[in-house]
């Protein structure tokens, strides 16, 4: 197996045993990037010089006999809506094409304390608005398993980089499934922590009450290592939780005996692919054989989740994107006066999907419609949260499909935004409720496309999710 195909914890052991060097590892990953990047298109910016210099520093540290952190010297990638000081951060938008942040996002800053090797910034749907990474202003990203298929979105570049061997792990963001859906499509592990578990400071805002930074990894052990690095309270983010962060690697016990796992009937609705449904029921049988109890459960307001999400998220997006006006920072297109300048800037520099969501959001917030749409969506959000609260009184975890189907073809849904939105049916309820969730690979379709299942946990109970995911992975 090539170095770029190994997990972070395997590579850490090789580094500490001096069987490989960080420089060799980094060169191996860049050789893979050079081989496949023109086909996959995972990156928007590649930081080769920085990576090479940082790898040498890690090698010097090892040569001095110093202990290295679990992710030290491990090549990684970061979604391009997470601020990186001195490194271009575009959100895959023409309006931020040349923006270089003067500071690091807290999550990246915490990760950087372990000295991983940054390979580059990954592609996404513009401002994280989309589910296929076809909405990038620069180029589409392709699924490494089938180049005619999408990698999912909006964190498609981060998922494709890990699946394609162009990074060992990566960071992404998840507002309505933007980590879990591409993880399922690309056959990797994608974890969205509890809302507030990871600081949003330096994550370019899409929908502030829904956004959360998380990880893409090759296996569950690596997932625990990355969560250890990025979780924790941050004074720069008033929504970050003060809850103590456990050592997530201690949850990696291959034992689910006594766990009660719910299987909600609302997630197996008409339209779900038969291969997906079969795969999820096989996962349930596997957990049962390992000693878990599978319980039928109802989450009755699930059918309203898509409508609720696509009112709340665009409303928050419309507010957050007001700042891109051609005045403070970002691109500017001149006009005869200030109003024309702002109009020209936003018209030329925002893509179609971003404009669509801004218009939906402003409509929902407008006088005469606020009560009918936005306020009602907030009330339904409370009902969806209550569904989960009630279910978790008697459950430890909830098992669902991650997506209703495997990766679809490039261009298949670009002309039908509503059908694209419905792809989020299994993931958006988790963001609405602020809960942690993970997508774990569970096989392939007959067309050899990856499938994933989703585990949803109680707020701040990432450990139980990791325990069950590790048990499933360990017994494959």
Annotated catalytic sites, by residue? 79, 154, 178
Instruction: Give the count of beta carbons closer than 10 Å to the beta carbon of residue 110.
Output: 18
Cβ contact 367:234 at 8 Å: no
User: What is the Cα–Cα distance from 464 to 452, expressed in whole angstroms?
Assistant: 18
The 8-class DSSP code of residue 153 comes to S
CA-angle at 381, arms to 378 and 383, nearest 5°: 120
Structure tokens at 168: 């060992």
Q: Which residues pair with 450 in a beta bridge?
A: 444
User: What is the Cα–Cα distance from 267 to 401, expressed in whole angstroms?
Assistant: 7
What is the residue-wise DSSP string for 300-324? GGGGGHHHHHHHHHHHHHHHHGGG-
The 8-class DSSP code of residue 192 comes to E
* Torsion of Cα atoms, 56 then 62 then 68 then 74, to 10°: 40
- Please, which residues have CB within 8 angstroms of residue 10's CB and are 6 or more apart in sequence? none
Q: Chain centroid to CA 374: how far?
A: 26
Whether residue 122 is preceded by a cis peptide bond, meaning omega within 30 degrees of 0, is no
Instruction: Give the count of beta carbons closer than 10 Å to the beta carbon of residue 197.
Output: 24
Cβ contact 117:54 at 8 Å: yes
Q: Chain centroid to CA 198: how far?
A: 12
Structure tokens at 93: 């938008």
Phi-psi region of 433 (alpha: psi -120 to 50; beta: other; left: phi over 0): alpha
What's the chain's Rg over C-alpha atoms? 21
Q: Is 340 helix (H, G, I), strand (E, B) or coil?
A: helix
Q: Is 161 helix (H, G, I), strand (E, B) or coil?
A: helix
* Torsion of Cα atoms, 319 then 323 then 324 then 325, to 10°: 110
Cβ contact 58:20 at 8 Å: no
User: What is the Cα–Cα distance from 54 to 118, expressed in whole angstroms?
Assistant: 9
The 8-class DSSP code of residue 149 comes to B
User: What is the Cα–Cα distance from 191 to 299, expressed in whole angstroms?
Assistant: 22
């Amino acid at each position: 197996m090539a170095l770029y195909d190994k997990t972070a914890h395997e590579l850490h052991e090789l580094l500490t045993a001096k069987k490989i060097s960080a420089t060799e590892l980094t060169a191996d990953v860049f050789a893979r990037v050079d081989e496949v990047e023109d086909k996959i298109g995972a990156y928007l910016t590649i930081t080769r010089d920085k990576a090479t210099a940082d790898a040498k520093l890690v090698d010097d540290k090892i040569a001095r006999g110093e202990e290295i952190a679990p992710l030290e010297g491990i090549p990684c990638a970061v979604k391009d809506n997470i601020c990186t000081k001195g490194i271009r951060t575009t959100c895959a938008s023409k309006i931020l094409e040349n923006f270089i942040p003067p500071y690091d996002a807290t999550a990246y800053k915490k990760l950087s304390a372990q000295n991983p090797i940054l390979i580059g910034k990954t592609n996404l749907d513009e401002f994280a608005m989309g589910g296929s990474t076809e909405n990038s202003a620069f180029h589409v990203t392709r699924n490494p398993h089938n180049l005619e298929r999408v990698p999912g979105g909006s964190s498609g570049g981060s998922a494709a980089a890990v699946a394609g061997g162009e990074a060992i792990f990566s960071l992404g963001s998840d507002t309505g499934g933007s980590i879990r859906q591409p993880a399922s499509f690309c056959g990797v592990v994608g974890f969205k922590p509890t809302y507030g578990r990871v600081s949003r400071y330096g994550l370019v805002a899409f929908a502030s009450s829904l956004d959360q930074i998380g990880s893409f990894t090759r296996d569950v052990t690596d997932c625990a290592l990355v969560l250890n690095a990025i979780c924790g309270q941050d004074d720069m983010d008033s929504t970050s939780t003060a809850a103590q962060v456990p050592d997530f690697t201690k949850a990696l016990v291959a034992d689910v005996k006594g766990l009660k796992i719910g299987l909600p009937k609302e997630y197996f609705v008409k339209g779900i692919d038969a291969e997906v449904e079969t795969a999820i029921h096989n996962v349930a049988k596997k957990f049962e054989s390992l000693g878990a109890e599978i319980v039928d459960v109802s989450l009755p307001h699930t059918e309203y989740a898509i409508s609720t999400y696509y009112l709340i998220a665009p409303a928050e997006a419309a507010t957050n994107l007001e700042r891109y006006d051609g005045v403070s920072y970002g691109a500017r297109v001149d006009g005869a006066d200030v109003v024309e300048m702002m109009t020209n800037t936003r018209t030329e520099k925002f893509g179609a999907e971003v404009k669509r969501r801004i218009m939906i959001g402003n409509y929902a917030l407008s006088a005469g419609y606020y009560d009918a749409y936005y306020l009602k969506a907030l009330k339904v959000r409370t009902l969806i949260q209550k569904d989960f609260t009630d279910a978790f009184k008697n459950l430890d975890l909830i098992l669902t499909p991650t997506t209703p189907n495997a990766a679809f073809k490039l261009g298949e849904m670009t002309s039908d935004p509503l059908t694209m939105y419905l792809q989020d049916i299994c993931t958006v309820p988790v963001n609405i409720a602020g809960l942690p969730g993970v997508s774990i690979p569970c096989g392939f379709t007959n067309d050899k496309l990856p499938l994933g299942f989703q585990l949803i946990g109680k707020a701040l109970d990432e450990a139980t999710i990791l325990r069950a995911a590790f048990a499933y992975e360990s017994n494959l």
